[in-house]
Structure 1
Amino acid sequence: MPYSPKHKEQTRLRILQAAATLFCSNGFDRVTLNQIMKQANMTHGAFYAHFSGKSSLYEAALKFATSKGFGARSKKQTETKDTHLKALISRYLSWSRPNSEAPSPLEFLVTDAAHQDEKVRQTYQECFDNLVDRLASILSRRGVQESKSLAEETVIALVGTVSIARSITEPLREEFINRAKLRILKRLDQDLVGLNAPM
């Protein structure tokens, strides 16, 4: 008896979640299909029912992980514009903590940006551009004229902060993250217009 479309979608989602966690934590080369399917608690047969190979899974998994970044809906629909922007920055920086449920899609994938596999490089670039575009859209709606440039600068600062923070031990990690957060928000605040209160 064939599986229902709902079951197939749930299966694909489990594979994507497992792959996103592993790829975002370790990069393309250090993750095997065996590890992904073990994490998803599934067989290889299930993998090939959804993806043609590791590169195609990498592409789908990073796009899935990126969709959890800037622009994703907050649970608090009543947030003001100021607190929403702060929440986005805080959420990204929370990925620097060990055992984070949603690791950053860019932080440990710097080697993937220069990978021999063109599809891997392309996927990394698309994820970076996607995060920049989402933040630029938010900043543009807030009245920032050079929104793309500021968004790119902010994403670079966030990715760098998360990458470095993971190599720092507690309690220094928290202090480092908090200092970086203040710097990033202060830089954003300099370009935001029409704010009635500090961020």
Structure 2
Amino acid sequence: MSSISIIGLGGMARAIGARAVASGHAVEVVGRDEAKAKDLAAALGGGATAGTFGTTPAGDLVILAVPHAGSVPVVTEYGDTLAGKIVVDISNTANADATGLVTPDGTSGAQEIAEAAPASTHVVKAFNTVFGHVLARGGSLDVLFAGDDAQAKASVSAFVESLGLRPLDAGGLEMARWLEGAGLLMISLGRHGAGTFDFSLGVSLSG
């Protein structure tokens, strides 16, 4: 099993953390509010611990579970403590009214994070096409991911699979923009065609 650090204390942090603890991973949760981090660690159980924000994450795999607007500032603040780590960006980059992406054409939130991180940090986009409340319910879901480093992607894929989920490799980190676009599409579907956010995005193989 892996050692996982989750930076962020929201619904996705809780959902991924719960699955990770249930799967036998060593889990560290980290947030600016130390008391809330300790409360989340206690709620997760399974030996989960609360780390100190801004210090070197204990996990080899670092789940960056913060909103897009805070992701680059957090990575910048952590600086060299992320060197050699695999950072998993789970954020979506939809604008306030979910009619478009806030990132410029030709880039993505994940690529901005990669530019802000140390050169030896490997950024992988994952989990942004899964709603947190759906993930928290359990069951098998598809998790699309993208990244440039083969070994980092293999580690993320193995982690996703260990949670009882199906990892699907979408390609290099340049595909993160399209995964973020898929996240926007899911929000729009929830508001319109689906009429509910109780659904998941998956791939069905035929033939």
Fold match by TM threshold 0.5: no
Say which structure is richer in helix: 1
TM-score after normalising by structure 2? 0.30
TM-score after normalising by structure 1? 0.30
**Which has the greater radius of gyration?**
1
Say which structure is richer in strand: 2
Q: Which has the higher contact order (CA 8 A, sep 6+)?
A: 1
